[in-house]
Amino acid sequence: MFKDSDHAWNPTAEEIRIWAYSDALIPEQDWELAVNSFENIPMICSFVDDEECKHISFFLSCLYVFTGDFVRSRKNEEYNKLIELLNRIEVIAKSEELKDWIKRSKDLILNPDKYDYRFWGLGSEYVY
């Protein structure tokens, strides 16, 4: 699926989509960091809401890592962008897992001191 490990660290949306529905193992350790971006979050949310996706837990973990990294880096100028994204996704979210991520993300944005790597980092206890 990926030409080499360097390519796996810069995946296209189509490559991520193909992997989501495959039985393939995660291409690289900590790959959550490679797929996370504002542009990919709606697609990642669609995977979490799709029972046909083979890697729902992985993508749910991506969401927690995304919010955690965002809040931890204190990108205050982009908070509105994240809130708008969460509000758009909230309207179409189907699964309880996705709705929980949205609720928890909004709470963390309002209360950044609640950040705990165990829940917002790789291997999130909210997911695994």
Q: Which domain holds residue 32?
A: 5-120
pLDDT for 17-63, tens place per residue?
Answer: 999 999 999 998 999 999 999 999 999 999 999 999 999 999 999 99
Is 128 contained in some domain?
no
Token pair, residue 36, equals 């996370």
Is 125 contained in some domain?
no
Q: Is 106 exposed, middle or buried (0-12, 13-18, 19+ CB in 10 A)?
A: middle
Domain count, the chain: 1
pLDDT for 104-113, tens place per residue?
Answer: 999 999 999 9
- C-alpha to C-alpha distances, 96 to 8, 103, 117, nearest whole angstrom: 30, 10, 22
Query: Is the model's pTM score more than 0.85?
Result: yes
Is 126 contained in some domain?
no
Calculate the average pLDDT of the chain. 92
